[in-house]
């Protein structure tokens, strides 16, 4: 049977930098010695830790993360913190491009009386998000961006979270294999300059946001000028927030109260 130090040794040999921490998580998640052995083997083969565990800790909540579904990144906790600070009580929250649904679940855990809706184009993501979002009292839908949402949400959304794919297509091959091999391409690829999906979101967001409603999305520092231009073109008023420690750049875009 594997003990803590032999798990650490196997993980270290496989190149896991945080072998000690990972060993603790694997040992506390496995229900049997056989399961632990299999989990350590999968991790040593290069599967993301969260796919091996079947869950991720994110911004104070624990969410299921199924194989192939985008693993919520620590950096994105900054986006959620920005949203928690600005979301009104009883907010109507939409998590678009939701992946596992982690962002919406974490946000509604931080405010009172919220109504949560989440959507994604990838059936595997929606299947995973459905469980996470239902546990938070919300609903998940499958489809292309806003087309997935119930029509009754038009003009009612107080907080629109949209952590869209934003890696430029030709940079996908530079990503670590945990992302490149084990996450769906549709979760990563943002088109030639990385902003294709974002532009589609900003073009429609004002129709779905309530007056004064807010759109939150992550981007790279390099993409900020183009992202801000897309927001402005969509009739929203942008503000950029950065967290150097987490290497995170978030754009917060407000629908003016008097916009039509
Ligand atoms: C970068 S991942 C973010 C997932 C999640 N929001 C998170 O941060 O953990 C982008 C997600 O967008 C979804 N996606 C890509 N294109 C989409 C589209 N046209 N409509 C809806 N979802 C889309 C992908 O399936 C993927 O789950």
Q: pLDDT by residue (tens digit) across 34-52?
A: 999 999 999 999 999 999 9
CA–centroid distance, 214 to ligand 1, in Å, is 19
* 20 torsion bin: left (phi>0), alpha (psi -120 to 50), beta (else): alpha
Backbone CA torsion sign across 45, 46, 47, 50: positive
Residue given tokens 């003009």 in the structure block: 155
CA–centroid distance, 117 to ligand 1, in Å, is 14
Instruction: Write down the mean pLDDT value for the chain.
Output: 96
- Closest Cα to atom 24 of ligand 1: 187
Token code pair at residue 120: 């994604």
Specify the pTM: 0.96
Q: pLDDT by residue (tens digit) across 105-164?
A: 999 999 999 999 999 999 999 999 999 999 999 999 999 999 999 999 999 999 999 999
Position 2 confidence tier, pLDDT thresholds 50, 70, 90: confident
Round to whole Å and give the CA distance between 232 and 35.
51
CA–centroid distance, 55 to ligand 1, in Å, is 18
Q: pLDDT by residue (tens digit) across 130-142?
A: 999 999 999 999 9
CA–centroid distance, 212 to ligand 1, in Å, is 25
Residue 203's pLDDT is 98
- Span 175-201, mean pLDDT? 95
User: CB of 77 within 8 A of CB of 58?
Assistant: yes
Residue 228, CA distances (Å) to 64, 100, 101, 217, 234 in order: 33, 27, 25, 11, 10
Interacting residues of 129 by C-beta distance below 8 A, sequence separation 6+: 95, 98, 99, 100, 101, 118, 120, 140
Position 223 confidence tier, pLDDT thresholds 50, 70, 90: very high
Residues with CB under 6 A from ligand 1: 70, 72, 76, 97-100, 102-103, 120-122, 125, 144-145, 163-165, 184, 186-187, 197
CA–centroid distance, 98 to ligand 1, in Å, is 6
* Ligand 1 atom closest to Cα of residue 125: 27
For ligand 1, pick from 160, 165, 188 the residue to mutate: most ligand atoms within 8 Å of CB: 165
CA–centroid distance, 182 to ligand 1, in Å, is 15
Q: Is the per-residue pLDDT at 260 higher than 50?
A: no
Token code pair at residue 62: 């624990």
Q: pLDDT by residue (tens digit) across 64-107?
A: 999 999 999 999 999 999 999 999 999 999 999 999 999 999 99
- What is the DSSP secondary-structure string of the chain? ---HHHHHHHHHHTT-TTHHHHHHHHHHH-SSHHHHHHHHHHHHTT--HHHHHTEEEETTEEEE--TBSPPPPGGGHHHHHHHHHHPPTT-EEEEES-TTSHHHHHHHHTSSS-EEEEEES-HHHHHHHHHHHHHTT-EEEESSGGGGS-GGGTTTEEEEEE----B-GGGGGGS-HHHHHHB-GGGTB--TTS-HHHHHHHHHHHHHEEEEEEEEEEE-GGGHHHHHHHHHHTT-EEEEEEETTTTEEEEEEE--TT--
* Ligand 1 atom closest to Cα of residue 164: 10
Short-list 221, 243, 219, CA closest to 231: 219
CA–centroid distance, 208 to ligand 1, in Å, is 18
- Closest Cα to atom 6 of ligand 1: 98
């Amino acid at each position: 049977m594997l003990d803590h130090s032999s798990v650490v040794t196997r993980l270290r040999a496989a190149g896991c930098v945080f072998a000690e921490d990972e060993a603790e998580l694997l040992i506390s998640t496995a229900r049997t010695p056989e399961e632990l052995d299999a989990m350590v083997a999968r991790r040593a083969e290069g599967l993301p830790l969260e796919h091996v565990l079947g869950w991720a800790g994110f911004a104070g909540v624990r969410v299921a993360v199924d194989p192939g579904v985008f693993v919520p990144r620590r950096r994105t906790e900054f986006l959620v913190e920005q949203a928690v600070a600005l979301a009104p009580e009883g907010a109507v929250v939409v998590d678009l491009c939701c992946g596992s649904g982690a962002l919406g679940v974490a946000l509604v855990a931080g405010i009172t009386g919220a109504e949560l809706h989440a959507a994604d184009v990838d059936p595997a993501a929606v299947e995973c998000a459905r469980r996470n979002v239902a546990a938070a009292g919300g609903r998940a839908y499958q489809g292309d961006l806003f087309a997935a949402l119930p029509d009754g949400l038009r003009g009612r959304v107080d907080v629109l979270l949209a952590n869209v794919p934003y890696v430029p297509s030709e940079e996908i091959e530079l990503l670590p294999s945990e992302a490149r091999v084990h996450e769906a391409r549709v979760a990563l690829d943002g088109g030639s300059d990385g902003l294709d999906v974002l532009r589609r979101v900003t073009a429609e967001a004002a129709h779905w946001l309530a007056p004064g409603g807010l759109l939150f999305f992550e981007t790279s520092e390099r993409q900020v000028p183009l992202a801000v231009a897309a927001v402005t073109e969509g009739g929203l008023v942008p503000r950029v927030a950065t967290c150097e420690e987490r290497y995170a750049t978030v754009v917060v875009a407000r629908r003016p109260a008097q916009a039509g």
